[in-house]
Amino acid sequence: MVRTLFPVFPSHNSARQPRSARLRGVSGSLLLSCTLMSQTEFRTPKGTHDVLPEDHQYMTYIKKAVRHRCRQAGYKRIDTPMFEHRAIFERGIGAHTDIVEKELFLVSGSKREGGEDAAPVFALRPEFTAGICRSYIEHGMQQLPQPVELYAIGQCFRHDRPQKGRYRQFHQFDLEVIGLRDPSLDAQLIHVLKNILSDIKIFSRLTLQINNIGQPESRKAFADALKDYFIGKERHLPEIDRNRLESNPMRLLDSKEEDTQILVKNAPKLSQFVSEESKQYHETVLEYLTALGVPYMENASLVRGLDYYTQTVFEFWDQSTGAQNAVGGGGRYDGLIELLGGKPTPGVGFAGGLERMIWHMKEAGVTVPNKDQVDVFVAQLGPEAKKQCLTLVSELREKGVHTVGALGEASLKSQMRLADKFQSRYTLLLGKMEVKHSTIILRDMQAGKQKEMKLADVIPEVIKLLGKENLDTYVLRDHIGDVDED
Ligand code: HAM
């Protein structure tokens, strides 16, 4: 069976590129030039994928942009457990949402005596918000200066039907601003997101959709009005929406079902139930967005699929496909912390899906720096050469040169073939004769030219050829205090 190595994200042409081009961002790795996947007994579970080196370059790039913009704006990093008591999600996200009803990955802590699975009390996190709010309460963060701004990056799990852009394990980055309620916070959060999406060069492919869904009382009145409207029309609704009408009528507004969309056109509008105060709040958010230069589209049908939202909700949509596969979404959740047992505390936040962002970056032709290139391959022949090769490899690495050494017993010819496969820029050859004369052969793999030189001069020469600015040296800029290492 022929399959591409990673069907989720089409990989870029990994043809050999000069080092300069590779550094500028054209990916190319040995692993990724392989397009055949072997038949194996085990594969990744349905809806999951390996993040291979090429995609890690994209992930690292996104994570850097997130970290950078979050630090600029005063957010601090938080990690919550990958699993939590399931009640946190059930109560927080809402028992009748798709995420809780259909998509929670339940985890039974351990086996009972007798080997039976214990009833699941935990669930893998389908998102970060509920866990972060639990942490805010648990660690008394209301004592800190408010708002508390937190961000997280990591895997989330939803037992959804896998399809393009929808996986069972995926990565989110998440921003939360907890402890204050003010339209300027909603706008500022969105502005930080605009900067992140611009940094990764996909903002122009997206539209910001925004709505205000009002306070819970307004939504309750609206839900009742919707139910009344649909009396006698239920049979025209597809089954999924007939059920939603009972459990979560607001979801009919953003239903993907055509029959529902037609009926919803004449249904009461949420805006008729939203209070003047909420409308004013919304207008102010929009004013601030304009002041910050963030373009938006008001969307009265946007309700979002999680129950904890109040007032502002927003999503970043693909301009061409719309609601399908939003790259991220968020909103205000002023009742969530109280719902989870804390004091009434407002909050606003957002989460973006990294896989969907990477897909957009690739579609837009965004290339990210390939930091995994091999600069030098050291080939050797004979026991003495091997010993010298070991120290040479280690010294080159110490200077920041990405170096691979052939330490097997293969012939020089096959080592050269290997150097070619590693796409190394230079190869150093150390045979018996070279050892005897304290020399080494330096071969420029692209130019196909080589020269013999003194072994003692080769490291400065390699550094000169690569350019000092391209060396991978790790500098600890922050002082951590002196410690005696015994
Ligand atoms: P969400 O809209 O459920 O919101 O998810 C946010 C983003 O995560 C989506 O827009 C999408 O990019 C990505 N995502 C969600 N499910 C999947 C999946 N199955 N496969 C791949 N990507 C997926 C939340 O999670 C809220 N916690 C956002 C939030 C934070 N609201 C307030 N604070």
Give the mean pLDDT of 175-190: 98
CA of 231 to the centre of ligand 1 (A): 33
At 293-340, the pLDDT tens digits run: 999 999 998 989 899 999 999 999 998 876 567 999 999 999 999 999
CA of 128 to the centre of ligand 1 (A): 9
- Is residue 342 in contact with ligand 1, taking CB distance under 6 Å? no
User: In this model, does residue 21 exceed pLDDT 50?
Assistant: no
Name the more confident of 465 and 412: 465
Cα gap 378→419, rounded to integer Å: 8
Lowest model confidence (mean pLDDT) among 3-7, 172-176, 273-277, 441-445: 3-7
According to the model, what pLDDT value does residue 178 have? 98
- Is residue 186 in contact with ligand 1, taking CB distance under 6 Å? no
CA of 305 to the centre of ligand 1 (A): 10
**Beta partners for residue 150, in sequence order:** 76, 176
Name the more confident of 271 and 188: 188
According to the model, what pLDDT value does residue 246 have? 85
**Beta partners for residue 298, in sequence order:** 210
- Is residue 331 in contact with ligand 1, taking CB distance under 6 Å? yes
CA of 264 to the centre of ligand 1 (A): 25
At 230-287, the pLDDT tens digits run: 888 888 889 888 888 888 888 888 788 888 989 888 899 988 999 999 999 999 999 9
At 205-225, the pLDDT tens digits run: 999 999 999 999 998 999 899
User: In this model, does residue 38 exceed pLDDT 70?
Assistant: no
- Is residue 92 in contact with ligand 1, taking CB distance under 6 Å? no
Residue 3 binned pLDDT confidence (cut-offs 50, 70, 90): very low
- Is residue 12 in contact with ligand 1, taking CB distance under 6 Å? no
Can you tell me which atom of ligand 1 is nearest the CA of 130? Answer: 27
**CATH number assigned to the domain covering 53-215+275-363:** 3.30.930.10
User: In this model, does residue 110 exceed pLDDT 80?
Assistant: no
User: In this model, does residue 7 exceed pLDDT 60?
Assistant: no
- Is residue 350 in contact with ligand 1, taking CB distance under 6 Å? yes
- Is residue 328 in contact with ligand 1, taking CB distance under 6 Å? yes
Please, how many CA atoms are within 13 Å of residue 432, restricted to the half-sphere of its CB?
Answer: 3
Give the mean pLDDT of 346-373: 95
Percent pLDDT > 70 in the chain is 90
Which residues lie closer than 8 Å to 150 by C-beta, 6 or more apart? 75, 76, 77, 78, 132, 136, 175, 176, 178
User: In this model, does residue 28 exceed pLDDT 50?
Assistant: no
Q: Name the residue among 374, 353, 305, 402 with its Cα closest to residue 101.
A: 305
Cα gap 389→473, rounded to integer Å: 21
Can you tell me which atom of ligand 1 is nearest the CA of 165? Answer: 21
Can you tell me which atom of ligand 1 is nearest the CA of 172? Answer: 8
According to the model, what pLDDT value does residue 37 have? 60
Q: Is the dihedral of CA 462, 466, 470, 472 positive or negative?
A: negative
- Is residue 174 in contact with ligand 1, taking CB distance under 6 Å? yes
- Is residue 254 in contact with ligand 1, taking CB distance under 6 Å? no
Residue 112 binned pLDDT confidence (cut-offs 50, 70, 90): low
Cα gap 345→144, rounded to integer Å: 13
**Average pLDDT of the chain, as a whole number:** 88
Cα gap 7→24, rounded to integer Å: 25
State which of 17-21, 259-263, 461-465 shows the largest mean pLDDT. Answer: 461-465
Q: Residue 381 CB: number of other CB atoms within 10 A?
A: 21
Residue spans per domain, the chain: 53-215+275-363, 376-470
According to the model, what pLDDT value does residue 23 have? 35
Q: Which residue puts its alpha carbon closest to atom 12 of ligand 1?
A: 353
CA of 281 to the centre of ligand 1 (A): 24
Cα gap 256→322, rounded to integer Å: 11
At 53-82, the pLDDT tens digits run: 989 999 999 999 999 999 999 999 999 999
Intra-chain end-to-end CA distance of the chain, in Å:
56
Residue 19 binned pLDDT confidence (cut-offs 50, 70, 90): very low
Contact of 107 with 120, CB cutoff 8 Å: yes
- Is residue 166 in contact with ligand 1, taking CB distance under 6 Å? yes
According to the model, what pLDDT value does residue 36 have? 52
Spell out the CATH class of 376-470.
alpha beta
At 80-109, the pLDDT tens digits run: 999 999 999 999 999 888 889 889 999 987
